[in-house]
Amino acid sequence: MLTVTKEEDGFSAFSKTKQKVRLASGLDVNNNLNPTTIKTALNCLQTFRDELDTLQPEKILITATAALRLANNKQTFIQQAERILQYPIKLISGIEEAKIIYRGVAFTEQSQEQLLVIDIGGASTELIIGQGKHVLKAESLHMGSVTWLNNFFSDNQLNNDNFSRAIHRAKEIIQPHVKNYQELNWSFCMGASGTIQAVNEVNSKQQLKPHLTLSLLNQIKQQCIDSQQIDELIIDGLKESRQAVFASGLAILIALFESLGIEKITLSKGALREGLISILLEK
């Protein structure tokens, strides 16, 4: 949850509250959220509700994304969540999510260059090409760090075989979109949110490369393999909260680099939350 104060040139963060729920990890074989995950998520929302009571913000916007798009019992969860929050929850489509992510990047970066923006979430990955405030191409792909963890690293093993299968499957999903994105082209590639932020933090701590490149990603992949198991993954600069989904997100990022021919990626200061804030400020 992000709360901000409006300023003449945009906004400044007033408070940030974040809890790791990972809804997508609670989807069973029938794509229903299990009771344990629902309880964890509702407890998190109760914490947010208590904070809202204290902060008393003038405007509130609440959205749900990929994990709830997948969940067959989404309406049951949303009804319970809305009773706690006392505000409506808007379930946004994948394309809408991608456009809002780009809006958040454009809002914070103020770049006039043509950008490729990548956001690897828990259950989806968004790819957007835009220039200034205008989105030229947006896709939301059905792959994310949590779903890839469940599909390719569920045995807890960090080895070449699991990475190869995860990267190969991600490439299969990316491939139908490669031509359109490469034809549009881009001047800079920017990454938003968890996986890319985690890679940036590892690189900053270890001072491995001057930029986030494919060579760097493969170097970090080898560090994962050297750890052998997810629950024993210790990489200098990697936060404990990212341990479980780091390798799976990294596999998707490697697939994106190799499929799209990305030379380097830069971490953006903005993403979905900042895009939503920019919408609120316009209203």
Q: Which pLDDT score is estimated for 283?
A: 67
Give domain 111-267's CATH superfamily.
Answer: Exopolyphosphatase. Domain 2 (3.30.420.150)
- DSSP 3-state of 259: helix
Domain with CATH 3.30.420.40 in the chain: 2-91
Mean pLDDT (the chain) is: 95
Residue 11's CB: how many other CB atoms inside 10 A? 18
Contacts (Cβ under 8 Å, ≥6 apart) of 227:
158, 233, 234, 235
Report the C-alpha gap between 62 and 9 in whole angstroms.
Answer: 24
Look at residue 101 and tell me whether its pLDDT is greater than 90: yes
Arithmetic mean of pLDDT, 260-279: 93
Given a contact cutoff of 8 angstroms between Cβ atoms, the answer to whether 116 and 127 are in contact is yes
Nearest-10 Cα torsion for 259, 262, 267, 269: -80
> What is the third-level CATH fold of 2-91?
Nucleotidyltransferase; domain 5 (3.30.420)
Strands (E), 56-215: 63-64, 90-91, 114-120, 125-131, 134-141, 188-192
Side-chain half-sphere exposure of 170, counting CA atoms within 13 A: 32
Domain with CATH 3.30.420.150 in the chain: 111-267
Arithmetic mean of pLDDT, 46-73: 95
Q: Which pLDDT score is estimated for 106?
A: 92
User: pLDDT class for 8, splitting at 50, 70, 90?
Assistant: confident
C-alpha dist (Å) from residue 206 to 25, 253, 258, 268: 30, 19, 24, 20
Given a contact cutoff of 8 angstroms between Cβ atoms, the answer to whether 158 and 239 are in contact is no
pLDDT in tens, 217-267: 999 999 999 999 999 999 999 999 999 999 999 999 999 999 999 999 999
Give the residue carrying structure tokens 């021919």: 261
C-alpha dist (Å) from residue 26 to 22, 42, 109, 182, 241: 7, 13, 34, 35, 17
Q: In this structure, what token pair is assigned to residue 241? A: 């909260």
- DSSP 3-state of 190: strand
Q: Which pLDDT score is estimated for 9?
A: 75
Look at residue 200 and tell me whether its pLDDT is greater than 70: yes
Give the DSSP letter of residue 154.
Answer: T
